[in-house]
A and B are shown apart, each in its own frame.
Chain A
Amino acid sequence: MVEILWFKILLIPIVAIFGVCLGLFYKGIDRILVARMQSRMGPPITQPYRDFKKLMVKDNIIPVNSVKWLFNLMPIIALSTTLIILLYIPLGGVGPILGGHGDLILVLYLLIFPALASILGGFSSGSPYAIIGAQREMIVLMSYEFPLAVISISIAWLISSLNPGLNAFSFSVIGNNVIWGLVGPMGFVGLILLFLTLLFIVQGELGRAPFDVSEADTEIAGGVLAEYSGRNLALFYLANVTKMVVIGSLIIALFLPWNISNFLNLTGVLAYTSDLLFFLIKLFFVIFIGSTLIKAAAARFKIDQVVSVYWIYAVLISLFGLFLVSFDVIL
């Protein structure tokens, strides 16, 4: 038992470094793809690494008006909580490292923390632009939380009503009972609706176009990050790119938890490698459809439009999906 614990503790920094590097890599791919969609050349794929390196050597300015300890603490909290979520989500063929200690509900709560850290950072920096950005970020956060909760609860309800006695919020149970196989045709349509809504929430969660009201470059000069520079900005940058991986793997864990090694009858190291590669491909497609494509295609919503899109349309669609799924199961 103790040896397993030590092994897990050793794995934690490896997963953290892996997540950060993966996030920067996907950010590079994302920037190239957006550029190609706008018929530009785009930066080299190593550009996010260069940006990070540059931000680390730059001066770290702390404004006179700011609350200094909050201002310096919040980037660290944003990055560390994002990395903590990675430990609770299954990555590739292996289950979550801290799988026995936390489940979907914990992940949903932890997902609030990076946004909360940037809100507090914005409030503490003492710039009017940052304060407006923080208020907007808060509104976006409140908007997408409800459809996210509806989606996760409907998945858990589906599993628990068919297999009573199991912990339906645990990721290993969700991974073993693939939800697409549990429902009939009507429930299938409902699950597709839930899946599309979850893909639609990615952009709000990441704060990218069309939901980038909190960082609106042209209106409020960078929003919550307006006063950050140097190392603090680099940490926020890392937190944002890692969040992309986190949300992608959350979607994969909930809706696409297949492993390729079962189909190919592989064992040992080969199975883990093929599962990891398959996971990376799935992650690429989820990020491409959920984030890159929408970012390249859409312009920024106004703040009231963001609220109405999430609170009215996303909630209605996800509730309709839940209704279809429950109707299918009850019948």
Chain B
Amino acid sequence: MNDMFKKQEFSDKQKKVKKLKTQMKSLWVFNWFNSCGFIELIPLVGSRWDMERFGMILTSTPRHADVLFITGYQTIKSIKRAKRIYEQMPEPRIVIALGSCSMTGGMYWDSYNTIKKLDNYIPVDLYIPGCPPRPEAIFEGVQKMMEYIKNNKKMVSKS
């Protein structure tokens, strides 16, 4: 029984990795922004750091999105909306947190209403540090995620 359950889990994981691998080739991005992190995201769409050449485009509704970019600090009020957006996204979904604020609270670390660590509220897959991060850092982060998924597939097939 236990063995069967394990097998089921294994095949589920394999399926998810396969889906993620397909998804990484065309990432549709939804932004949830509170602060300066978004200002650094705007050049990503423009002609200098054109993100469409990697198949990434901005969507306007979380139902179409594959990636949720959470930029900057979250307050106790805005984290509810972020959770709501996360729940509206279809599987498989990826959450990327941008900026130091999302990791430690950043320069608002001693404020009474900021979220200090985003991981306690939403399952974050990737943190990109910086105050705010450069556009190159975002590409590097996405590239690392692609490599991770590739290696993960090898891991799954070996075990």
Q: Which residues of A contact B (CB under 8 A)?
A: 31, 35, 38-44, 47, 50-51, 53-54, 57-61, 129, 217-218, 221-222, 225-230, 233
Contact = CB atoms under 8 A, between A and B. Distances in A.
B47 A222 contact: no
B22 A59 contact: no
Contacts of B60: 217-218, 221-222, 226
B143 interface: no
Contact of A40 (B50, B58, B91): B50
B123 interface: no
A164 B47 CA distance: 57
B57 to A, nearest CB: 8
A51 B57 CA distance: 11
Contacts of A44: 53, 55
What DSSP secondary structure best describes chain B's contact surface? loop
B40 interface: no
B26 A42 contact: no
Given A35-B50, A43-B53, A47-B26, A61 B90 contact: yes
A171 B59 CA distance: 40
Given A40-B52, A59-B92, A217-B59, 15 more contacts: A31-B52, A39-B47, A40-B46, A40-B47, A42-B52, A43-B52, A53-B26, A54-B26, A59-B90, A222-B63, A222-B64, A228-B63, A228-B64, A229-B63, A230-B90
Nearest to B45: A40
Nearest to A125: B63
6 cross-chain pairs, A with B, having the tightest CB-CB distances, nearest first: A59-B90, A217-B60, A40-B50, A41-B53, A222-B61, A229-B63
Contacts of B88: 61
Contact of A50 (B18, B55, B92): B55
Interface in B2-47: 18-19, 22-23, 25-26, 46-47
B26 A50 contact: yes
B18 to A, nearest CB: 8
A207 B66 CA distance: 24
Given A40-B52, A59-B90, A230-B90, A54 B25 contact: yes
26 contacts: A38-B47, A40-B46, A41-B50, A41-B53, A43-B52, A43-B54, A47-B55, A50-B22, A54-B22, A54-B25, A57-B18, A57-B19, A57-B23, A58-B66, A61-B63, A129-B61, A217-B58, A217-B59, A222-B59, A222-B60, A225-B64, A226-B60, A228-B64, A229-B64, A233-B63, A233-B64
